[in-house]
Chain A
Amino acid sequence: MFNKTIFKQTFKSNYKLWLIFTAALCAMSVLIIAQFDPIQINSMMDMIASAFGDAMGDVLSGIGTITLNNMLSGTFYGMLAVVLPVIFVVLTANGLIAAQVDKGSMAYTLSTPIKRRTVATTKGIYLITAIFMMFLVVSLVGLATVQVTQGSAFGDAYTADVKGVSKEFGWDKATVAGNLNMILENPEAVTRGAEARKIDEDVYKLYLQQKIDGGTNQTTMTPGEMAEFQQKFLAGITAAAEVLDTSVTGLTSNLAKIKNNALALEAAAIAADLVPKETLALAPNEEVALEMQKAAFVGVINAQLVSKQFTLDAGLNFSVQEYLTLNLGAVLLIFATSGIAFFCSCIFNSANNSLALGAGIPVAFYLFQMMSGFGEGLEFLKYFSMNTLYDPNAIVSGGSFWIQFLVLALIGVVLYVLAVQVFKEKDLPL
């Protein structure tokens, strides 16, 4: 079933291609992980939301905070980790059997007392090993990169302000993160930390205080009160938007803008009318009442900004288990795809035919999967693509995927078994 000499020879003639693709995949993975900045990407999402208006904003806010896992599932595992290995698999599978039969060099292997089954099985084992090793290396490099650049693979991740302040003052990051008072009690550190987070100092102080106190303030409002409060707040923003001549959605994602414009703040504060009447009655004159309204509105804005900072911190969260599951799914999809390519390599005596079908089918699958996302009219195409069985988004957002994994594994196994059987029984032009 397995022949060491054939495996060794196969390895020798194929390891370079493996190295190239594995290195490329690792490089992409490292780049994508290293440049991941939760603050930047989430504010970018807000920007996109505001640029595209309310409809898009709703869609995007439905996604929630973008964590590293989310981002990887959409970019790396949604495309690169599928396309590159598929190219590798198609090229390698073709070279393992069909190209050698076509060229005639298979004749030498088969003019020795080695069974065809052994030849095909050994070469299949090489291909499977190559795929699994490729993703093992990519996973390990990815985890290492997450740990080095984000610090969140194993143990705690440090937020931008903790990193910035620690660097400036030569403090230990773990110590600072464990005792945020170190920052709060040092005005210079607060300035530096607020800079790192790209927020105002007062908001930053509020954030630090809340974090030290242990999380966000729990609201005591009833749903009715909450709705009324939100309506008032929205009225304020709408008024401010009119003054600033901008869209409501755009302003929602950039609340600090209201704070920095006296006119807008005044309009918003009046429109929102957040201060209860009894409290207002205590004001000695109109001016003080307006100041109270303004202070209340700023307070709400600050609270919103602080809660956004907490959301961003959540973006740093990284789940090793999800990451490994993403890789496992990709491995299984590539394994099943390699089954198609290997099967074609075993059926055809011409390398061109083997390559045409071995590459054509996976490419068609990829295109069908893409097109099925273009609209409801094309959604049926997903049933004609094996690639839809690997849904990275389902993995990071708690969808079901284990059954699909099992199906992919089964497809791969069946194709490999069939491929060996076909190669055993066919006429060889050697």
Chain B
Amino acid sequence: MPVIQVENLTKDFGHGRGVFNVSFNVEKGEVYGFLGPNGAGKTTTIRHIMGFSRPQTGCTIVNGMNSWKNYHEIQRNLGYLPGEIALPDSLTGTQFIKMMADLRKMSDMTYTESLIKRFELEPSGGLKRMSLGMKRKLAIVTAFMHDPAVLVLDEPTSGLDPVMQDTFIEFIRTEKKRGKTILLSSHIFSEVDATCDKISIIKDGKLVSTFVADDLRHSKTKTFKIEFRSKDEFERFQTDHSNLENAHIPYELASVKEQRNQVNIHIDDADVNEFIKLISGYSLKFFSEIKFTLEDYFMSFYDKNRQTNTALDGGKIVNAVN
């Protein structure tokens, strides 16, 4: 049974805002990336998972319990890191940690202490005067302090310095090894790329893509950029390409840059030898692979002016010439 289930969740705030018919499951031990720009509906979905909002239709289920009806029960084994860090001003960090421990009826603080050490947190000062990074670290510690099996993290690394971001990503990996189930919402590709097994992309309140991260990383189709040594060579390639039109072509032409004598092409791994034979007949300036990243994939949903349109086909990535 999935640890976190989001089933046909709809919450319409009007004016096209909200989430619409969102469904996904996070299995036990999985790190699930929830990717989308600001205002796409990530936080709204998370509010429902936490039991802060009542769904209009559909439901969210954590550990088999309905989030809205059993919101206080699911918190026993759930850690939450809010996207916006708003801590009560009147307390010091130490008092805040103590308060959270009291609210959770925790008595053993050794794990909390180890987290404080790991994230180099200095909790003694007042929360009002703490830097954003320090507040973020404090929020991370309070989300993990009761060592919950399920974690919901809303943009966890924003406000952390690069070193601390790496520490956090490393921490997520070890937690994953310990069997934790993690839902990580973000618009930072590197942290999603580095940690997540599965990724869903949300746009305007609707899930537009759900895929296994490894499929993206190990796509069988690769993109190369080729620049010809001269205009003549470039034109010869294009003429040959037109002549080959009806025969078997071991590549797909993605884009052409006339001024620089460049072409971008997609090659299937199976055709790579045939392609090298073909391209060795031309005089080239360089030949390089364009790494296809999560960012490219993500942007393809948002940037309509881009040449490449990427569509999802049976969980695998297929790039098609537009």
B143 to chain A, nearest CB (A): 8
- Contact of B88 (CB < 8 Å), options: A105, A111, A113, A428: A105
| Given A12-B90, A12-B91, A427-B54, A108 contacting B142 (CB threshold 8 A) | yes
Q: Please, which residues of chain B bring their CB within 8 A of the CB of A5?
A: 99, 102-103
B250 in the interface (beta carbon within 8 A): no
Q: Please, which residues of chain A bring their CB within 8 A of the CB of B95?
A: 12
Per-residue interface assignment for chain B, residues 144 to 178, with 1 indicating a CB less than 8 Å from any chain A CB and 0 otherwise:
00000000000000000000000000000000000
Q: Is the CB of A428 within 8 A of B103?
A: no
| Given A6-B103, A429-B47, A113 contacting B72 (CB threshold 8 A) | yes
Q: Please, which residues of chain A bring their CB within 8 A of the CB of B78?
A: 111
- Contact of B86 (CB < 8 Å), options: A12, A105, A111, A427: A105
B300 in the interface (beta carbon within 8 A): no
A422 to chain B, nearest CB (A): 13
B220 in the interface (beta carbon within 8 A): no
Q: Is the CB of B88 within 8 A of A430?
A: no
A13 to chain B, nearest CB (A): 4
Q: Which of B63-89 contact A (CB under 8 A)?
A: 71-73, 75-76, 78-80, 82, 84-89
Q: Is the CB of A107 within 8 A of B86?
A: yes
A95 to chain B, nearest CB (A): 10
A114 in the interface (beta carbon within 8 A): yes
Q: Is the CB of A13 within 8 A of B50?
A: no
Q: Is the CB of B80 within 8 A of A111?
A: yes
Q: Which residue of A lies closest to B53 (CB)?
A: A427
A350 in the interface (beta carbon within 8 A): no
Interface residues on chain B, size class: 20 to 34
Per-residue interface assignment for chain B, residues 89 to 104, with 1 indicating a CB less than 8 Å from any chain A CB and 0 otherwise:
1110001100110111
A413 to chain B, nearest CB (A): 25
B52 in the interface (beta carbon within 8 A): yes
Alpha-carbon separation in the docked complex, A430 to B44 (Å): 9
Alpha-carbon separation in the docked complex, A429 to B85 (Å): 13
Q: Please, which residues of chain B bring their CB within 8 A of the CB of A115?
A: 72
Q: Please, which residues of chain A bring their CB within 8 A of the CB of B50?
A: 107, 110-111, 430
Q: How many residues of A contact B (CB 8 A)?
A: 25
Q: Is the CB of A114 within 8 A of B91?
A: no
Q: Which of A78-121 contact B (CB under 8 A)?
A: 100, 103-105, 107-116
Q: Please, which residues of chain B bring their CB within 8 A of the CB of A425?
A: 54
Alpha-carbon separation in the docked complex, A100 to B87 (Å): 9
Q: Which residue of A lies closest to B80 (CB)?
A: A111
A186 in the interface (beta carbon within 8 A): no
Per-residue interface assignment for chain A, residues 401 to 430, with 1 indicating a CB less than 8 Å from any chain B CB and 0 otherwise:
000000000000000000000000101111
A219 in the interface (beta carbon within 8 A): no
Q: Please, which residues of chain A bring their CB within 8 A of the CB of B82?
A: 104, 107-108, 430
Q: Is the CB of B87 within 8 A of A108?
A: yes
Q: Is the CB of B84 within 8 A of A113?
A: no
| Given A111-B78, A428-B47, A105 contacting B102 (CB threshold 8 A) | no
Q: Please, which residues of chain B bring their CB within 8 A of the CB of A103?
A: 86
Q: Is the CB of A13 within 8 A of B91?
A: yes
Alpha-carbon separation in the docked complex, A410 to B102 (Å): 34
B62 to chain A, nearest CB (A): 12
Alpha-carbon separation in the docked complex, A176 to B82 (Å): 75
Per-residue interface assignment for chain B, residues 249 to 284, with 1 indicating a CB less than 8 Å from any chain A CB and 0 otherwise:
000000000000000000000000000000000000
Q: Please, which residues of chain B bring their CB within 8 A of the CB of A285?
A: none
Alpha-carbon separation in the docked complex, A430 to B82 (Å): 8
Q: Please, which residues of chain B bring their CB within 8 A of the CB of A12?
A: 90-91, 95
Q: Is the CB of B47 within 8 A of A105?
A: no
Alpha-carbon separation in the docked complex, A13 to B88 (Å): 9
Q: Please, which residues of chain A bring their CB within 8 A of the CB of B76?
A: 113
A217 in the interface (beta carbon within 8 A): no
Per-residue interface assignment for chain A, residues 70 to 83, with 1 indicating a CB less than 8 Å from any chain B CB and 0 otherwise:
00000000000000
Alpha-carbon separation in the docked complex, A427 to B54 (Å): 6
Q: Is the CB of B47 within 8 A of A430?
A: yes
A25 to chain B, nearest CB (A): 23
Residue of A110, A116, A430 most packed against chain B (CB within 10 A) = A430
A260 in the interface (beta carbon within 8 A): no
A9 in the interface (beta carbon within 8 A): yes
Alpha-carbon separation in the docked complex, A115 to B76 (Å): 12
Alpha-carbon separation in the docked complex, A205 to B78 (Å): 87
Q: Which of A113-142 contact B (CB under 8 A)?
A: 113-116
| Given A105-B87, A105-B88, A430-B52, A114 contacting B103 (CB threshold 8 A) | yes
Alpha-carbon separation in the docked complex, A259 to B73 (Å): 88
| Given A12-B90, A13-B90, A113 contacting B47 (CB threshold 8 A) | no
Q: Is the CB of A113 within 8 A of B73?
A: yes
Alpha-carbon separation in the docked complex, A5 to B95 (Å): 11
Q: Which residue of A lies closest to B87 (CB)?
A: A105
A293 to chain B, nearest CB (A): 80
- Contact of A111 (CB < 8 Å), options: B75, B89, B90, B91: B75
Alpha-carbon separation in the docked complex, A116 to B71 (Å): 9
A186 to chain B, nearest CB (A): 64
Q: Which residue of B lies closest to A425 (CB)?
A: B54
Q: Is the CB of A109 within 8 A of B47?
A: no
Known: A108-B96, A110-B50, A427-B47. 4 other contacts (CB 8 A): A9-B88, A104-B84, A104-B86, A108-B142
Where the two chains meet, the residues of B that have a C-beta atom closer than 8 Å to any C-beta of A are 47, 50, 52-54, 71-73, 75-76, 78-80, 82, 84-91, 95-96, 99-100, 102-104, 142-143
Pairs A–B under 8 Å by Cβ, sample size 5: A105-B88, A107-B52, A110-B71, A427-B54, A428-B53
